[in-house]
Amino acid sequence: MKPDFDLLVIGGGINGCGIARDAAGRGLSVCLAEMNDLGSATSGASTKLFHGGLRYLEYFEFRLVREALRERENLLRAMPHISWPMRFVLPYHKSMKFDMSTPTSKLLGAVMPWMKGRRPAWLIRLGLFIYDNLGGRKILPPTSSLNLRNTLEGKELNPKFEKAYEYSDCWVEDSRLVVLNARDAQRRGADIRTRSKVVGAEVTDGIWRVKIEDTETGQTDIVTASMVVNAGGPWVGDVLRTTLRSNSQAGVRLVRGSHIVTKKLFDHDKCYFFQGTDGRIIFAIPYETDYTLIGTTDHDHADASVKPECTPQEQEYLITFINGYLAKPISNDDVVWTYSGVRPLYDDGASTASAATRDYVLKLDETRGAPSLNVFGGKITTYRCLAESALEEIEKVLPVTAKPWTAGVALPGGDFPVDGVGALIKEAKASYPFLSDRLALRLVRAYGTELAQILGEAKAEQALGINFGADLFQNEVQWLIDNEYVRCADDIVWRRSKLGLRMSHEQIAKLDDWIVKRLSEQPAAAIEEED
């Protein structure tokens, strides 16, 4: 019996969508099943950075850092609308300590016990030198020193910080990255199914028979596939043991990372890299024009079925942490939103959540009579490399003849130069003079060269239909329903965008009602068109 698909991918996070895209582009038939919305778990709750992971150098994770550093510029070229360069300011003072459990700290502690866990300036400079040169940087500017006295970067900081190092990494709109990978996979032939939960799987005559349940209607479908890819994120262990019924001993360590969003704290577009007295680090990042994103924490999370939330203790930790750097402290009253995600790390036996490896681990399992591939860990920065590595594993059991192809290939809307956002905004304003500067920037950053598909032939704002709030118009909502798998308001205001920060509960409820009604009308409209 010929199966319906070569691959059945379980999980619509960045790893699952990245693998589906790569495989579809190599000619494999692919079905992807996601039980909720795309990017609704870990992949939509990151710190929103394409970065090498400067602190991972202390754990001697040079391969991971090198791969991530190389990827930053590959990804910038492929998605210049949703990713862009950012400068990071690392204030220095000699009393800051680092985690004494890292290989670096143990080595230095043995050689120079008088350090007592301090990161000396020479060690930071060495780390940044390695960071600048390990990944073959071509686009991003190198590290420089910064005098914080009487500078914009030092204005909001405690005066005791006089010196800083400034280096480069990148920002990314994480949820949009997931959706664009799914769209590109679909464009290349993949069947993308959201709100579709895999509830059972068995092997018959060397073929997987997978039972998928529509979580909205309760209807079930049987899909057959030559191979299953388990990219279930926080649920990878549950899928492995319960759904696929594998005896694999590979384990997952769930680590919760929480973030807070405050009113805007700094009058510039640079990010801060702050070192804590406990050896941890946090970022303070310009966010959605009017806000600052602060994170993240690292705490073990016992159960994937329990929705991660920023606890009062984590919020207080982040506030206390950043107040050690600010000239004017913040309080709980400054926090406008919080979010948390669970990182499904490979369980390497590390003593703390912070020390657990962020590298990805792929486990091919052929014990069930048909192959499966289980995906553990990974960073959003290296998702494309993870997908290529997954295809190398898939090649061991399926006939894959096409070579790797995704490096630098544009995602939907990203077919313009890395430095071309300004030109796109200018073009949008010329074609649609009624656009405000803020709306033009948001639309270009979200949709790139696809912006005209949304605005169409509109000559005035009124032609865009209902304004649901925060300049989210009916045209855009309908386009997202038709093209980006949207089924409810939260899909738009918290994942396809962060407009929920600017919209009232009443506005979001009105949007949700409109989407539900529109979706209920669509089948009838489709039948009429056929007739």
Name residue, tokens 């150098």.
Answer: 57
| Burial environment of residue 303 by CB neighbours within 10 A (0 to 12, 13 to 18, 19 or more) | exposed
Residue 10 has pLDDT above 90, yes or no: yes
Q: How confident is the model over 401-414, as a mean pLDDT?
A: 96
Instruction: Please give the DSSP secondary-structure letter assigned to residue 41.
Output: S
Q: Distance between CA atoms of 153 and 174, rounded to whole angstroms?
A: 26
Residue 119 has pLDDT above 60, yes or no: yes
Q: Distance between CA atoms of 347 and 350, rounded to whole angstroms?
A: 8
Q: Distance between CA atoms of 180 and 182, rounded to whole angstroms?
A: 5
Lowest mean pLDDT among 126-130, 171-175, 410-414, 437-441: 126-130
Q: Give first-to-last CA distance, the chain, whole Å.
A: 36
DSSP string, 307-338: PP---HHHHHHHHHHHHTTBSS---GGGEEEE
| pLDDT computed for residue 123 by the predictor | 82
Percent of the chain with pLDDT over 90: 76
Q: Which residue has the higher pLDDT, 60 or 235?
A: 235
CB 286 within 8 A of CB 266: yes
Nearest Cα to Cα of residue 105 among 85, 87, 127, 90: 127
Helix (H) or strand (E) holding 345, with range, is strand 335-346
Label residue 114 by pLDDT band (50, 70, 90). Answer: very low
Chain mean position to CA 35:
18
**Cis amide bond preceding 296, omega within 30:** yes
Residue 213 has pLDDT above 50, yes or no: yes
Q: How confident is the model over 295-305, as a mean pLDDT?
A: 91
Q: How confident is the model over 323-347, as a mean pLDDT?
A: 94
Q: Which residue has the higher pLDDT, 138 or 112?
A: 138
Quick one: tokens of 511? Answer: 């949007």
Residue 60 has pLDDT above 90, yes or no: no
Chain mean position to CA 319:
24
Q: Distance between CA atoms of 248 and 372, rounded to whole angstroms?
A: 11
Q: What is the CA radius of gyration of the chain?
A: 24
| pLDDT computed for residue 530 by the predictor | 36
Name residue, tokens 């609704």.
Answer: 40
Label residue 517 by pLDDT band (50, 70, 90). Answer: very high
Q: Distance between CA atoms of 421 and 412, rounded to whole angstroms?
A: 15
- Detail the DSSP E strand segments found in 102-251: 144-147, 163-172, 191-193, 196-204, 207-214, 220-230
Residue 338 has pLDDT above 80, yes or no: yes
Q: Give the model confidence (pLDDT) of 71-80 as tens digits.
A: 999 999 999 9
Percent of the chain with pLDDT over 70: 92
Residue 248 has pLDDT above 50, yes or no: yes
Domains (ranges, CATH) in the chain? Answer: 5-43+175-251+358-394 (3.50.50.60), 83-170+253-346 (3.30.9.10), 420-460 (no CATH), 465-531 (no CATH)
CB 374 within 8 A of CB 293: no
Label residue 433 by pLDDT band (50, 70, 90). Answer: very high
| pLDDT computed for residue 8 by the predictor | 98
- Detail the DSSP E strand segments found in 51-125: 83-92
Cβ-proximal residues to 78 (8 Å cutoff; 6+ apart), any chain? 406, 408, 409, 410, 411, 414
Label residue 105 by pLDDT band (50, 70, 90). Answer: low
Residue 117 has pLDDT above 60, yes or no: no
| pLDDT computed for residue 107 by the predictor | 46
Q: Which residue has the higher pLDDT, 96 or 246?
A: 246
Average pLDDT over the chain reads 91
Cβ-proximal residues to 112 (8 Å cutoff; 6+ apart), any chain? none
Residue 28's SS3 state is: coil
Residue 354 has pLDDT above 90, yes or no: no
- How many residues are there in the chain? 531
Pairing of strands 207-214, 220-230: antiparallel
Label residue 113 by pLDDT band (50, 70, 90). Answer: very low
